[in-house]
């Protein structure tokens, strides 16, 4: 068992797949000798060379178009979009082309590709380099969406994403890059669409994702000290969505809280809340409560950003209040 950072796990996961399969290529801006602006892909260029690890111009449509064209002709490209905010300049390729073309062609084409991107806030970068866009991707039929919360899951979900025959949007929480975790030796391959239960409690269930997972776990510890024992579900994969785990864990405690980095309106938790309302209503002992970023562009100043993103303190007080009213 080695301790790796989340950023080292990215390179480890990609390398694991590139060693195994020659059809896996990697492209993006500054990803070659530079090793990525977040240093998430250090060592890949040295190991796999400039033909399989390719620097591109600042052309997000060309990057994703290249990935799509390569995937439809038999390769398994991994493309990097440096900051998830930049999806906005190439969203046509994602939402209109990659996502729809299998269906429109009556299954004639496959798009086994991965688009990985640095997602979300916490680094004081301001509104154009900090937003979390997993809900953008989630609402497009034809895209799979995963958001790992720890180094082990980065490797396992990357492998699952690369091996999947459908397009996968792989969103890395930027603020987690320096965080560490145990990663077992050897090949790790997860299954998409599997949530994990990180903590068991009897009183309430928290469903969360990415950067919010460590915050939810810390909040659960504090709440436990105050007598509220929480289950914490790391959703990991929004599409496919492991609703069975969420429903089961919600029914077991009778309460559900979602902790989401997305701005409030139509954040991923809205879909989860609606599923629970329809399918587990009679197991609920109180309303589903969503803890989200307010519906605002994310501010840059550290004090303001900290107010905006769900914090351990806000999770604790929100759950405490809801459980005692």
Partner 1 sequence: MTTTEASPVHDVDFKLELYRSQVALRRFETRAYDLFLENYVKGTSHLSIGQEAIAAGVAAAMRPDDWTFATYRGHAHTLARGVAMTPVFAELMGRANGLMAGKGGSMHLTSVEHGVMGSYAIIGAHLPIACGAAWSAQYRGTDQVAVVFFGDGTVNIGAFHEALNFAAIWKLPVVFICENNLYMEYTRTSEVTAVARPAADRAAAYGLEPILVDGNDADAVYEVARTAVERARAGMGPSLIEAETYRHGGHSRADPGKYRPDEEVALWKSAERDPVSRYRTRLVELGVDESTLARIEADVDAEVEAATEAAKAGAAPGEDLLMKDVWANGGAEWRN
Q: Kindly list the catalytic residues.
A: 129
Q: Given the rule CB under 8 A, which of 3-11, 108-116, 168-176, 254-262 is the region that contacts partner 1? A: 108-116
By the rule CB under 8 A, 106 interacts with partner 1: yes
Residues contacting 222, CB < 8 A, separation 6+: 312, 316
Task: Among 5, 16, 101, 231, indicate the residue that binds partner 1 (CB under 8 A).
Answer: 101
By the rule CB under 8 A, 216 interacts with partner 1: no
Separation of alpha carbons 149 and 27, rounded Å: 23
Strands 2-5 and 53-55: unpaired
| Orientation of helix 243-253 relative to helix 268-279, angle to 10° | 60
Task: Among 2, 33, 34, 104, indicate the residue that binds partner 1 (CB under 8 A).
Answer: 104
Nearer to partner 1, 246 or 316 (CB): 246
Nearer to partner 1, 55 or 306 (CB): 55
Least Cα distance to 133 among 148, 143, 123, 118 occurs for 118
By the rule CB under 8 A, 244 interacts with partner 1: yes
Task: Among 110, 251, 311, 318, indicate the residue that binds partner 1 (CB under 8 A).
Answer: 110
In angstroms, the Cα distances linking 53 to 26, 307, 323 are 5, 39, 51
By the rule CB under 8 A, 278 interacts with partner 1: no
Alpha-carbon dihedral 169, 172, 173, 178, rounded to 10 degrees: 180
The site for partner 1, by CB under 8 A, has a size of 50
Q: Given the rule CB under 8 A, which of 147-155, 169-177, 208-216, 234-242 is the region that contacts partner 1? A: 234-242
By the rule CB under 8 A, 66 interacts with partner 1: yes
Shortest CB 73 distance to partner 1, Å = 4
The dihedral built from the CA positions of residue 124, 128, 129 and 132, taken in this order, carries a sign that is positive
Task: Among 80, 85, 242, 261, indicate the residue that binds partner 1 (CB under 8 A).
Answer: 242
Separation of alpha carbons 276 and 283, rounded Å: 9
As given in the structure block, the two tokens for residue 69 are 């064209």
As given in the structure block, the two tokens for residue 11 are 């390179």
Separation of alpha carbons 84 and 168, rounded Å: 14
Restricting to residues 153-172, name those near partner 1 by CB under 8 A.
164-166
Task: Among 49, 96, 200, 286, indicate the residue that binds partner 1 (CB under 8 A).
Answer: 96
Enumerate binding residues for partner 1 (CB under 8 A).
25, 51, 54, 56-57, 59-62, 64-75, 77, 92-93, 96-97, 101-110, 112, 141-142, 164-166, 193, 239-244, 275
């Amino acid at each position: 068992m080695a301790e790796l950072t989340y950023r080292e796990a990215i390179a480890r996961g990609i390398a694991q797949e590139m060693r195994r399969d020659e059809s896996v290529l990697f492209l993006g801006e500054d990803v070659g000798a530079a090793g990525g602006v977040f240093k998430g892909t250090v060592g890949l260029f040295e190991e796999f060379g400039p033909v399989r690890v390719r620097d591109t111009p600042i052309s997000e449509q060309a990057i994703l178009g290249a990935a799509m064209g390569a995937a439809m002709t038999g390769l398994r490209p991994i493309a990097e979009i440096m900051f998830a905010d930049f999806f906005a300049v190439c969203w046509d390729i994602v939402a209109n082309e990659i996502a729809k073309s299998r269906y429109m062609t009556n299954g004639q084409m496959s798009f086994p590709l991965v688009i990985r991107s640095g997602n979300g806030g916490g680094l004081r970068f301001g509104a154009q380099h900090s937003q979390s866009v997993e809900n953008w991707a989630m609402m497009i039929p034809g895209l799979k969406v995963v958001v790992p919360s720890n180094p082990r899951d980065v490797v396992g979900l990357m492998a699952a994403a690369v091996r999947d025959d459908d397009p996968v949007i792989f969103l890395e929480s930027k603020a987690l890059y320096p965080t560490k975790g145990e990663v077992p030796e050897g090949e790790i391959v997860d299954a998409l669409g599997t949530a994990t239960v990180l903590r068991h409690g009897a009183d309430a269930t928290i469903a969360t994702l990415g950067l919010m997972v460590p915050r939810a776990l810390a909040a659960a510890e504090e709440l436990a000290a105050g007598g509220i024992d929480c289950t914490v579900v790391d959703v990991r994969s929004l599409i496919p969505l492991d609703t069975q785990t969420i429903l089961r864990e919600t029914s077991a405690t009778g309460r559900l809280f979602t902790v989401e980095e997305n701005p409030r309106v139509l954040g991923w938790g809205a879909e989860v809340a609606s599923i629970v309302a329809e399918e587990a209503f009679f197991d609920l002992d109180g309303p589903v409560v969503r803890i989200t970023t307010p519906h605002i562009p994310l501010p840059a100043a550290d004090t303001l950003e900290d107010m905006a993103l769900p914090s351990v303190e806000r999770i604790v007080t929100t759950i405490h209040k809801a459980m005692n009213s």
